[in-house]
């Protein structure tokens, strides 16, 4: 099963035909790379009907940012920031009891139970804003760096294949944030993306889009990045598309 994620920094802008112009690029990517699941981060589509973002032969799962407009008191409450769309191909079975959540620390996720080719997979699509809880939203630790909470901590005991992916906004390129990398290892997860995923302002390279699976699970056959503009597909944003194959 092939799974991808890309941060698009808003699908909200409409073209002259009142259709989101980036949607054509998403459709092209899904077809070209034959994704079973494609996660769209920072969708920013609050207030726009689902039908505007439909992709043939895929079912869409959606979570908008559930915070009011920015009142300059809460930095994570800026209007319509974040948001997730998850497109699941119709030959992948999705459990009825799927979950979506806007956490108070700003982290958003959609959790789906997927069944494909006799595989049971817990897939968690994440957007973690660069403010608010940040690292601790994924793994929180005490002063001795013993894990105490966070999303990966909560998922540590699930007895099936677990894939967590999204824009985590924690740079782990090279030795950056080594403590954080040690922390997600302590709760039993490994991270699979090794190349930079975004060129930041001023030209700095960052690895902030991640794919996690359980340590020792050995069900990620491959993982990597697809640069913006690949095969002349333009306009999805300044993040690379990340992907993995689950076996």
pLDDT (0 to 100) of residue 203: 76
Bridge partner list, 125: 110, 165
Class of residue 226 by CB neighbours under 10 A (exposed 0-12, middle 13-18, buried 19+): middle
- Of 176, 137, 177, the residue nearest 153 (C-alpha): 137
pLDDT the model gives residue 218 = 95
Residues of the chain with pLDDT under 50: 69-72, 76, 79, 231-232
**Predicted local confidence at residue 67, as pLDDT:** 59
Q: What is the 3-state secondary structure of the chain? A: CEEEEEECCCCCCECCCCCECHHHHHHHHHHHHCCCEEEEECCCCCCCCHHHHCCCCEEEEEECCCCCCCCCCCCCCCCCCCCEEEEEECCCEECCCCEEEECCCCCEEEEEEEEECCEEEEEEEEECCCCCCCHHHHCEECCCCCEEECHHHHCCCCCCEEEEEEECCCCCCCCCCHHHHHHHHHCCEEECCCCCCEECHHHCEECCEEEEEECCCCCEEEEEEECCCHHHCCCCCCECEEEEEEC
Do 154 and 139 contact (CB within 8 A), yes or no? Answer: no
List, for residues 187-238, the tens digit of each pLDDT value: 999 999 999 999 877 778 999 999 999 999 999 999 999 876 564 455 688 8
Residues with Cβ within 8 Å of residue 238, at least 6 apart in sequence:
9, 198, 199, 228
d(CA 240, CA 237): 8
């Amino acid at each position: 099963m092939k799974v991808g994620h890309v941060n698009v920094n808003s699908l909200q802008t409409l073209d002259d035909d009142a259709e989101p112009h980036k949607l054509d690029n998403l459709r092209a990517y899904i077809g070209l790379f034959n994704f079973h699941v494609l996660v769209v981060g920072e969708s920013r589509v609050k207030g726009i009907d689902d039908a505007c973002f439909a992709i043939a032969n895929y079912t869409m799962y959606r979570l908008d940012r559930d915070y009011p407009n920015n009142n300059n008191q809460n930095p994570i409450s800026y209007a319509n920031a974040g948001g997730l769309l998850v497109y699941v191909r119709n030959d992948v079975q999705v459990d009825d009891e799927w979950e979506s959540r806007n956490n108070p620390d700003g982290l958003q996720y959609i959790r789906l139970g997927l069944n494909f080719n006799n595989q049971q997979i817990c897939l968690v699509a994440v957007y973690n804003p660069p403010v608010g809880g940040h690292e601790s939203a994924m793994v929180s630790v005490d002063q001795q760096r013993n894990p105490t909470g966070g999303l990966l901590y909560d998922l540590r005991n699930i007895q099936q294949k677990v894939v967590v992916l999204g824009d985590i906004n924690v740079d782990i390129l090279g030795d950056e944030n080594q403590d954080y990398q040690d922390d997600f290892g302590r709760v039993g997860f490994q991270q699979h993306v090794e190349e930079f995923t975004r060129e930041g302002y001023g030209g700095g390279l960052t690895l902030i889009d991640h794919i996690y699976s359980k340590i020792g699970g050995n069900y990620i056959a491959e993982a990597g990045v697809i640069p913006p503009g690949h095969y002349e597909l333009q306009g999805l944003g300044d993040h690379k598309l990340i992907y993995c194959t689950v076996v």
